[in-house]
Amino acid sequence: MEEHNTLRQLFPGLEEELYNEIDQHGEVRQVPAGITLLRKGQTIRSTMLILEGIVKLYQEDEEGDEFFMYYIEPGEACAVSMVCTYRQENSQVLAKAMTDVTVLTIPIQYMDEWLGKYKSWHYFVLRTWRSRYEELLNTINAIAFKNMDERLEFYIKGQVEKLGRHIKLTHQEIATDLNSSREVISRLMKKMEKDGWLIIHRNSFEWIKP
């Protein structure tokens, strides 16, 4: 009953019959922070709805280098898994649990059925795709038109918005997300600290700029 109420709160506006089907066919999973939920090349057999926690999506190149794309939060779904299940393709991204996460997985066979059967699910899928597309445009805009110091500020503000002012990330992890070097990120963050924007701790930092 508690999970049913959580589903209604986080994903409002679905038909009553659809809520019942999600309850019947969906599987709730508890995923500890740091665990990879989705790997590049993995065959996707279900889509994911986030009930609790934050999931981080990366693009991964052939050498294994990662580039941050966007977050998925409670009340949102993994657009990549939706697209891949619909087209029966393998994943091209990497997804990791940034915090302890509760996900609701829905098997692939119900995707086509619900798109045609439930108008609310059809609109939910479209909204999910549009939201992720807009986030990707913001990321591309930061890469194409901003200097690294501007990109770092944009990135950190995004982290603070999702995770709070105390961020447990190393300079190397930030450099990996931004496809930069640890030396460059360390230099820019030390400048931010000097300017009174943040306080650097070991393997973390605290954002103090209003």
3-state helix, strand, coil in the chain (%, to 5): 50, 25, 25
The span from the first CA to the last CA of the chain, in angstroms, equals 41
47 strand-pairing partners? 106
Overall domain count for the chain: 2
Residues 92-141 pLDDT 10s:
788 999 899 999 999 888 887 898 899 999 999 889 988 888 887 887 78
Same domain? 157 vs 69: no
What does the pLDDT read at residue 110? 87
Return the SS3 of 63.
coil
- For residue 45, the domain's CATH number is 2.60.120.10
pTM of the model: 0.78
2 CB-near residues (< 8 Å, 6+ apart): none
Domain with 17 in it: 2-143
Residue-level length of the chain:
210
What does the pLDDT read at residue 84? 60
- For residue 171, the domain's CATH number is 1.10.10.10
Same domain? 21 vs 110: yes
pLDDT confidence bin for 14, thresholds 50/70/90: very high
Same domain? 101 vs 190: no
Cα distance between residue 18 and residue 80, in whole Å: 22
Same domain? 94 vs 185: no
Q: What is the DSSP letter of 208?
A: -
Closest CA to 136 of 75, 57, 77: 57
Same domain? 20 vs 121: yes
Residue the block writes with tokens 């899928």: 125
Q: Which of 128, 143, 158 is the last residue of a domain?
A: 143
Q: Which amino acid is at 109?
A: Q
Q: DSSP string of 113-179?
A: HHHHH-HHHHHHHHHHHHHHHHHHHHHHHHHHHS-HHHHHHHHHHHHHHHH-SEE---HHHHHHHTT
Same domain? 57 vs 105: yes
Return the SS3 of 77.
strand
Residues 64-92 pLDDT 10s:
677 788 889 999 998 877 766 555 667 77
Q: Which of 143, 161, 190 is the last residue of a domain?
A: 143
Q: Which amino acid is at 61?
A: D
The greatest distance separating any two alpha carbons of the chain, rounded to the nearest whole angstrom, comes to 57
Same domain? 92 vs 183: no
pLDDT confidence bin for 2, thresholds 50/70/90: low
Residues 17-60 pLDDT 10s:
999 999 999 999 999 998 999 888 887 788 899 999 999 888 87
Paired tokens of 110: 């119900």
Paired tokens of 5: 């109420």
Same domain? 93 vs 175: no
Same domain? 106 vs 161: no
